[in-house]
Amino acid sequence: MAYGGRWHGKDVYFGMHYDLHAHADDTELGARTDPSDLVESLGLMGPQWVQTDCKGHAGYTSWFSQVPEASVSPGVVNDALADWREATRRMGVPLHCHYSGIWDDAAAAKHPEWAVQPAPGAEQEGPRHKMCPRSPYLDELMIPQMIELIDRYRVDGFWVDGDLWGVEPCYCDRCVAAFREQTGMEEPPASPGDPNWVAWIDFTRESYYDYVVRYCNAVHEHSSHALVCSNWLQTFRDPGEPKVPTDWISGDWWHGLDALRCDARFIATRGKPWDLMLWGFWKASSHQDKTMPWTFSSVTRLKQQAAMILSQGGNVQIYEHPPQLRDGRLVPWRMRRLGEVGTFCLERQALCQGTESVPQIVVLHSEAHAHSQPVTNLFWGYDVNGVEGAVFALLENAYSVDIMDEWALSDSLERYPIVVAPEQDQLSDAMVSQLRDYVRSGGRLMVTGAGAWDRFGGEFLGAESVRVEEEGTWFVPAAEGTAELYSPMWRMLRPTTGRTVAFLGELPLRDEGLTAYPAAVVNDVGQGGVVYVPYDLFHFFRASGYGLVRAWIGDCVEALDADMDIAVQGPASVDVVLRRKGDRLLINLINTMPAVEGHGPSACTGELPLVGPVAVTLPAHAAPREVVAAFEGGELTWAFDAEEGLLKIALSGVRLHEVVVVRI
């Protein structure tokens, strides 16, 4: 059993993160952090936990660390951390430290031998930033500072930044010796083209995990109350059994709704307390563009992002980092805005916290497939476009969608009417076998990608393979027209026991220029069925977002003829999240209109058009005791059809985030 984590309690639901990344040129750190001022500023936002600055990527502390290896910023003029501690004590809320782990410029400058060593023969470009997980850094600097923070300030937790996504393969003698011992290979490979690269990255990942385990254990052994989180560990881009004993899961994100759609869904399956951190500010261009200042987010935009998290049962925190103010002052108008988001979250707490998914479709995000990729970064490197494309397309077809890795799905498979395995050629043998059994006993499976035929076999998929073609575009019928699709690989099939859902076409006409090759084949297997789409359908939807492709994906799902209890009809711009709490069905509806940030006026003004209507049909043995739209006051009507045993609900529209509550 993986460790289930700990949290401060149900009443700690909405939080604030503040950091400065103190550096060598600072001159006024802590100058304006009087506890009474902090209490007043923080009170405008009302966070139920607070994370404040301790040590950023530059490696300088913003407190007077007495650890011998510490690099204290020369700009610390007052003990800001003591002030934050006093303010949060008066407010009665937990205080966490923002602490950069793997990334520490100051430690690398002081101890180059602690830093990640490049591959033999590779040039070290510029100064080093990242720590070797086997170096003395952990025992001589990081853990002693965590203990110092607990002992001196009684901090309640650590949010360790610059960790998973900062990890780099290290070729120091310690790491190379451990690699030899663990794998029997003489030398680690120097480049991703080497066939042993995946083994080297696996080793790098495990080395990082071991380092996190060591600081978790050190904190847990020293303190009975302090909690530990490693930023982005055990999230969407780190699938697999969550075996590292952090207390909760969190990640900070500035990319907006689409990324949150996946991260919230995935983290919700990890079996630990979790939050996602919204950035309170955003940029209309790339993160690195110095000509474009960060602007403070609209309240609407932050609420919309928060709804993605809340609807999956997570906690929300918001990152505040006022530009130019290095003295610790907070900005009242900005704090007031964040307070409005907090009110929005707390209004929803009773209907969002502690809920369970009502299973409809689960998208498989296989750790075996992810870890087969020769990545160079443990966070950014993976191609997750197929999974994302599947999630987006299915949500936009008004299905409630969950995401699970093999670890989570293997225990939950039978609960789902439909499983989608998008373009993953390297599923584990155990998962393939389990999915076959799932279908035989009545499950419905959608498999995509030319390579999946080799994994599942022609007999199971109901089609022979004629040939594989590289590159190219073909037409498929969709809605009242045809969609032109691109894929790097196409498998041309000849159905055996399977039925053709539609044929690939050479022309945009629906009834001319059709080939003999299916665009999808559906096959009955045992009590269930499988639909096989022999090309990269979901990668293409991820790249294009085309409405006709979305419609074709909807047709493929319908070809499975799955028995879905609850049917929702609504526009593509409403995400449906079906949850349950006790005897209440909770139909979350989220308006996703300005999903792409920085484009179009709505991203700037934060205005959202009303979207709808939404219709829901669900089985009911009796008239409902309660059907209400909890938050937005849209027009709601319902009718109970005793003969059909159906409850039919209609809602006029969704402004931002509505929850329709149904009690039968």
* Cβ distance to Zn ion smaller for residue 91 or 175: 175
Residues within the interface to Zn ion (CB under 5 A): 132, 134, 170, 172, 175
Integer CA distances (angstroms), 549 to 21, 184, 282, 552, 650, in order: 44, 48, 31, 5, 27
CB 360 within 8 A of CB 395: no
Q: From 569, 540, 565, 573, select the one nearest 619 (Cα to Cα).
A: 565
Collapsing DSSP to helix, strand or coil, 119 comes out as: coil
Residues sharing a CB contact under 8 Å with residue 273, sequence separation 6 or more, in sequence order: 5, 6, 7, 247, 248, 249, 315
Integer CA distances (angstroms), 624 to 306, 567, 584, 588, 649, in order: 30, 17, 11, 18, 11
Integer CA distances (angstroms), 522 to 90, 459, 463, 505, 607, in order: 63, 12, 9, 18, 43
Integer CA distances (angstroms), 420 to 61, 348, 408, 506, 563, in order: 47, 30, 14, 27, 15
Collapsing DSSP to helix, strand or coil, 472 comes out as: coil
**Interatomic CA distance for residues 12 and 160, integer angstroms:** 19
Work out how close the CB of 242 gets to Zn ion at its nearest, in angstroms, rounded to a whole number: 25
Work out how close the CB of 175 gets to Zn ion at its nearest, in angstroms, rounded to a whole number: 3
* Cβ distance to Zn ion smaller for residue 60 or 200: 200
Q: From 318, 377, 378, select the one nearest 345 (Cα to Cα).
A: 318
Please give the structure tokens belonging to residue 544.
């294009």
* Cβ distance to Zn ion smaller for residue 132 or 562: 132
Q: Is 271 left (phi over 0), alpha (psi -120 to 50) or beta?
A: left
Collapsing DSSP to helix, strand or coil, 346 comes out as: helix
Work out how close the CB of 132 gets to Zn ion at its nearest, in angstroms, rounded to a whole number: 3
Work out how close the CB of 225 gets to Zn ion at its nearest, in angstroms, rounded to a whole number: 33
* Cβ distance to Zn ion smaller for residue 173 or 506: 173
* Cβ distance to Zn ion smaller for residue 164 or 608: 164
Work out how close the CB of 172 gets to Zn ion at its nearest, in angstroms, rounded to a whole number: 3
* Cβ distance to Zn ion smaller for residue 209 or 254: 209
**Interatomic CA distance for residues 271 and 440, integer angstroms:** 29
Work out how close the CB of 382 gets to Zn ion at its nearest, in angstroms, rounded to a whole number: 23
Work out how close the CB of 552 gets to Zn ion at its nearest, in angstroms, rounded to a whole number: 49
Beta-strand pair 646-651/636-641: antiparallel
Residues sharing a CB contact under 8 Å with residue 125, sequence separation 6 or more, in sequence order: none
**Interatomic CA distance for residues 133 and 168, integer angstroms:** 10
Work out how close the CB of 21 gets to Zn ion at its nearest, in angstroms, rounded to a whole number: 25
Work out how close the CB of 71 gets to Zn ion at its nearest, in angstroms, rounded to a whole number: 21
Work out how close the CB of 181 gets to Zn ion at its nearest, in angstroms, rounded to a whole number: 14
Work out how close the CB of 133 gets to Zn ion at its nearest, in angstroms, rounded to a whole number: 7
Q: From 314, 398, 412, 402, select the one nearest 357 (Cα to Cα).
A: 402
The DSSP bridge partners found for residue 474 are 485
